Amino acid sequence: MLLPQEAEPESVKDSIVDKPQRPAFESSYIIEMPTDILNPKKTLEVQMGHRFGLVNGGNNDLIGIWAPSNIRIGFSYGLHERLTVGFGTTKFDRLQDFNWKLGILKQTRSNRIPVNVTYFGNFTIDARGKENFLVDQHRYSFFHQLIVSRRMNPNLSIQAAGSVSHYNLVPQRMPNDVVSLSLGGRYKVSPQTAILVDYTQPFVHYLEGSNTDYDPLTGFTDPKPGVSLGVEFRTSSHAFQLFISSYQSIVPQRNIIFNRNDFFDGDFAIGFNITRLYNF
């Protein structure tokens, strides 16, 4: 004898409706800006970032391609669905960064949780010769960032992030800590192709006695905002990003505190990021 089909309990319905939303982004970076993406458990991501010289940097540089280039090679590994740790080495200043990313909240399909919240941080060591530093502590810098992102629809994702960059050693009259705000977005124009944009605005409070535009004692000028525009090509296991950016240092705190390139004056470089995933 067939019994009438019973209605699904409310708890079952809720568990289906409230499944996590698909990731807002498909790569661990929007050009220069970390995203909410966390590696699946036991997944290794290999990262390569390359920045050519400035397009307007010289008369015989072939739009910066022949100029000195900065390169970062990095690795990150998913220890848990909500925790990824990594390491990278960068050519300029021989920076060695140890980084981590922690998922705090995940957007749900029901919008009960409307956004993703992710924490990203790093600890970076300047590995240049000891003659550049009075004490080892001067080699160290730190970066902390809280990322809020949302998948608006299948094509559009946006995020905003507040960060604090800290250097143990800075030029005279310059603060050791700089707060910044970053905005970024991704718009898919085809299943594998997307347009990327990111912008970072530093907020600098100079110490008493310094000029807020230029310090003649150190030659330090206000850090300029970071502006980047690019395109991303994505497959199931790798992403390739081609872009122009006013940032060249790749490591975020180095970009935010020491960037002197003004994007709107033509101070930008051609660059690319490549990431590849390996499952174990």
HEC assignment per residue over the chain: CCCCCCCCCHHHHHHHHCCECCCCCCCCEECCEECCCCCCCCEEEEEEEEEEEECCCCCCCCCCCCCCCEEEEEEEEEEECCEEEEEEEECHHHEEEEEEEEEEECCECCCCCCCEEEEEEEEEEECCCHHHCCCHHHHEEEEEEEEEEEECCCCEEEEEEEEEEEECCCCCCCCCEEEEEEEEEEEECCCCEEEEEEEEEEECCCCCCCCCCEECCCCEECCCCEEEEEEEEECCCEEEEEEEECCCCCCHHHHHHHCCCCHHHCCCEEEEEEEEEEEC
* Phi, psi for 240 (deg, rounded to 5): -125, 125
What is the value of pTM for the model shown? 0.89
What's the confidence (pLDDT) of residue 57? 85
Both tokens assigned to 49: 């970032």
Q: Which residue has the tokens 């001067």?
A: 138
Closest CA to 144 of 117, 125, 165, 168: 165
Domains detected in the chain = 10-279 (2.40.160.40)
- Kindly compute the dihedral angle of the four CA atoms of residues 20, 191, 251, 210, in this order, to the nearest 10 degrees: -90
Tens-level pLDDT at each residue, the chain (280 residues): 444 445 555 555 555 568 999 999 999 999 999 999 999 999 999 999 999 999 998 778 899 999 999 999 999 999 999 999 999 999 999 999 999 999 999 999 999 999 999 999 999 999 999 999 999 999 999 999 999 999 999 999 999 999 999 999 988 778 899 999 999 999 999 999 999 999 999 998 665 555 455 555 455 667 899 999 999 999 888 999 999 999 999 999 999 999 999 999 999 999 999 999 999 7
Distance (Å, whole) CA 40 – CA 237: 12
Both tokens assigned to 108: 């749900």
Residue type, 105: L
Both tokens assigned to 33: 């800006």
Distance (Å, whole) CA 257 – CA 179: 9
